[in-house]
Structure 1
Amino acid sequence: MSKIAALKSAVSGTALPGRVVPGLVAPLVAGATYARLLHLLVGWIFAGIVLMVYPGTYGKSLDEILTASVSLDTLLLALVALVPAARRAEGVQARLLLVPDREEDIAVEPSRTWADRRRTAGWLIGRVALGTAVGFATVLGLATCYEALTGPRVLWYLPFTPLLVLGFGWFLVYAGRLQLAMAVRLLGPSPAERLAEAELRAERLLERNRLARELHDSIGHALTVTVLQAGAAREVGDPAFVAKALEVIEETGRQAMDDLERTLVLLRETPAGANGAATEQPGIDQLPALFDTARAAGHPVEARVQVPPGTLPGVLSRESYRIVQEGVTNALKYAPGEPLDIRVAVRDGQLELRCANRLPGGGRSAAGAARPPAGGAGGAGRGATRKGGKGLRGIRERATLLGGEATAGPMAEGDGEWVLSVRLPLRLGS
């Protein structure tokens, strides 16, 4: 068929014969169709066994048989649904035989709530009812076809045989699809389970973001100090200064390795008790060591930490250390050699963190302060370039998660200072 004819056929709404026939036949020969039929017939077999045990069929009318069978089946299935493991067993069986597009659409967890048990009972009763209907329809359909093809009027029925087979096959296809839809609806995760799964994914995402911030803060700080110390040592050339710089580089590198090991432990999901030393994180009590590292890098640091011991919760102490560490790292990178003023205090139920440094060219450096060489790590930018950096964005994220706020930027024009100010509530979530 030419392209024009194909286009006309598509516009007129008639499909090409070569596509119609496979579309009609493919579901009839698919393995999923017969796996679903087997699943349907299992429900029918269950109903048949119960019927044979009680009430039986001898000497009873059809109404009596149906009433007793339906009542007993419903009672037995409702009792089975009370067993938590029944939901898991049905979910596993449905995944294997109903062949869903996505396995997670059908849960394989045991019942945890009464709502799960009610849905399981609805599934069991619906499964047996649909399976029974399909079973009787299958038997009647096959019997009708057999009688038509073996009776005296076989030649009259023979031309309609393909249509009968096709119709019966598609009846089985849609019955299987209906069974699958019931399984997804009744055996799928409940709204509460879907919400819990979404919350778990959100927690994992937050955890990955937290680990990324930890790596950025700790490793970024270590690399900044190392580059500045190496550059200053090369520029100064004093053997004593070089020895001190190498000592600082060694200590900073060791701390960075410890931070990296802590992060890797968390990524590997090592149990908390397996390696306690590796999972300990620095807190606010280790700020003096951080300030000593900055002084060794050529920054005059004036720090006042007015936090009584035991005042801060563990998470607040750790996050405060990281915030101050990032403030110090920013000062080392963007204002090398400039005085750094740090204030950490508890006031009015809040922890206040303030890191201020002179902008390059905005103030005089302390005498004797060692500077890295021009064009090194500290000479790449000005204070204004810090506004959209990952470090400051991480500080704002930390502050927000802790219920606080963070601001960063230059002070009033002409003041010549860059200030990072963070306020965190002592009671988390307040």
Structure 2
Amino acid sequence: MPRIFAPLLAAATYARWLHLLIGVVFVGVVLLVYPGTEGVTTTRVLTVSVLLDSALLTLAALVPATRRAEGVQARLLLLPDREEQIGVTGSTGWADRRRTAGWLIGRVALGSVVGVATVHGLASVWSLCTQPFRGRTPSLFGWQLPDGWPLLLDPMLAPVLLFGLVWFVVLAGRLQLAMAVSLLGASSAERLAEAELRAERLLERNRLARELHDSIGHALTVTVLQAGAAREVADPAFVAKALEVIEETGRQAMDDLERTLVLLRDTPEGTAVEQPGVEQLPGLFETARAAGHPVEATVEIPAGALPGVLSREAYRIVQEAVTNVLKHAPGAPIVLRIVVRAGQLELRCVNGRSGEGGSRKGGGKGLRGLRERATLLGGEATAGWQGDDWVLAVRLPLRLGS
């Protein structure tokens, strides 16, 4: 029972009823202007009305703003469950104009049917409620009830007729909504553009996740190693240096975290924190040296040779490489060479086995992240043992824009 009567009490039903009746108002205005209602046959009125209305609605659909206006009105009065199902943008091509014309003609046609049913239905309800008390036979939709019909039963038919009329409006409103979603909704090109935008946002979030993994992972690794070394070494100078490294690494990680969270919030402050690039590599090397790793670094990059995105990604790759050495080969020497040659950036990181028996596995998240970064930039990354040395080699093309 609730499913039967709930739609009759819903605000959406009467909002959609109003939207449907706007269509018949348009037909009425056109009909009054031409051909008029006096001295003209019904057949001619209907024929001229259909042809003239269709022509005017098609011309209106050629205006790009018409689609936007119809979308806004449909959202307000048809009350869809999800507003994004009905577009509110102007026409961008002939396909949109054709769909808008189909919507306008269909809307006016359905509205005309509902308008005629509304006028005759309400008139019939009034007739059933009033005419029997005047001793007259009521009419239903213009037809007189047969003689001999019990007049006192007529008022009992009025609620049934009104119930049927409102349910007819409910079904017409649902049909109107389906038409709006189909004809005013996003076109194939718009849906493709939206899908591409969602994919781009997903890739950006994945990139930010890798940023956090590299930055926070590096900071935690350095912090744990420095704290452990400070506990084992009784030298006050070494302890002070370790605390300084922990403080600096933690501050940098907090900056990276703040920048990433701002970007995820999509606020204008997304560029407030400068993203690290190859210019910050010396500080990274000093952190590794403070953790007990001899570092021999050669960086041969001409000024302005690297696009901004490539500079940032190169820093993250080196950071992940250094973090892996800190984790898996404590105390091992690190030899780094970064050069620009033959239109590409070449990065090579070599470290030997540590004296503490450190090991390296090839399937960790860090190495997968390195390969993903290189692939997204159009390059490649390889890592593995070469004799007693673990070698990471990355090649990135310089064809990216800043």
The normalised TM-score by structure 1 is 0.80
**Deviation readout 1:261-289 (Å, 9 max, x if unpaired):** 33244234343xx686x342222233222
Aligned: 1:61 with 2:41: yes
Bigger mean CA deviation after superposition, 145-154 or 230-239: 145-154
Out of 332, 351, 356, which is 1:338 matched to? 332
Judging changes above 3 Å, is the alpha-carbon distance between structure 1 residues 234 and 29 closer, same or farther for their aligned structure 2 residues? Answer: closer
Distance apart, 1:395 and its partner CA: 1.4
The amino acid that maps onto 1:300 is P
Deviates more, 1:117-126 or 1:261-270: 261-270
2: CA distance between counterparts of 1:106 and 1:275? 31
Equivalent-residue separation in structure 2 for 1:54 and 1:423 (angstroms): 75
Confirm whether residue 404 of structure 1 aligns to residue 379 of structure 2.
yes
Taking the aligned partners of 1:137 and 1:202, their CA distance within structure 2 comes to 48
Secondary structure of the corresponding residue to residue 150 of structure 2: helix
In structure 1, runs of 5+ residues without a counterpart are 1-20, 364-380
SS of corresponding position for 1:311: coil
Q: Which residue of 2 aligns with 1:47?
A: 27
Seen in structure 2, the aligned counterparts of structure 1 residues 345 and 362 have a Cα distance that, compared at 3 Å, is: farther
Q: Does 1:286 align with 2:280?
A: yes
Task: Write the distance in 2 (CA, Å) between the matches of 1:253 and 1:138.
Answer: 72
Alignment-mate amino acid for residue 423 of structure 1: R
User: Which whole-Å CA distance do the structure 2 matches of 1:330 and 1:154 have between them?
Assistant: 95
**When the two structures are aligned, how many residues end up with a matched partner?**
384
Are 1:356 and 1:417, in contact at CA under 8 Å, matched by a contact in 2? yes
| 2:220 aligned residue | 223
What is the alpha-carbon root mean square deviation over aligned residues? 2.9
Give the Å deviation of 1:205.
Answer: 1.5
Letter in 1 for 2:360: G
Aligned counterpart, 1:260: 257
| TM-superposed deviation, 1:73 | 2.2
- Report the 3-state secondary structure (helix = DSSP H, G, I; strand = E; otherwise coil) of the residue aligned with 2:74: helix
> Which residue of structure 1 aligns with residue 131 of structure 2?
none
Identity %: 72
In structure 2, C-alpha distance between the alignment counterparts of 1:184 and 1:340, rounded to whole Å: 61
- Deviation readout 1:155-187 (Å, 9 max, x if unpaired): 398698787666544433322221111101111
User: 1:362 touches 1:416 (CA, 8 Å); kept in 2?
Assistant: no
More deviation in 122-131 or 307-316? 307-316
**1:136/1:208 Cα in 2 relative to 1: closer, same or farther (>3 Å)?**
same
Question: 1:72-91, aligned counterparts within 5 Å?
Answer: 72-91=52-71
Secondary structure of residue in 1 paired with 2:348: strand
**3-state secondary structure, aligned to 1:383:** coil
Alignment of 1:64-213 (within 5 A): 64-142=44-122, 146=127, 147-148=138-139, 151=145, 152-155=147-150, 167-213=164-210
Which residue does the alignment assign to 2:353? 359
Preserved contact between residue 255 and residue 273 of structure 2 (Cα < 8 Å): no
User: Which aligned pairs between 1:363-382 and structure 2 lie closer than 5 A?
Assistant: 382=359
TM-score relative to the length of structure 2: 0.85
- Structure 2 unaligned spans of 5+: 128-137
Residue 424 of structure 1 is matched in structure 2 by 396
**Aligned residue number for residue 232 of structure 2:** 235
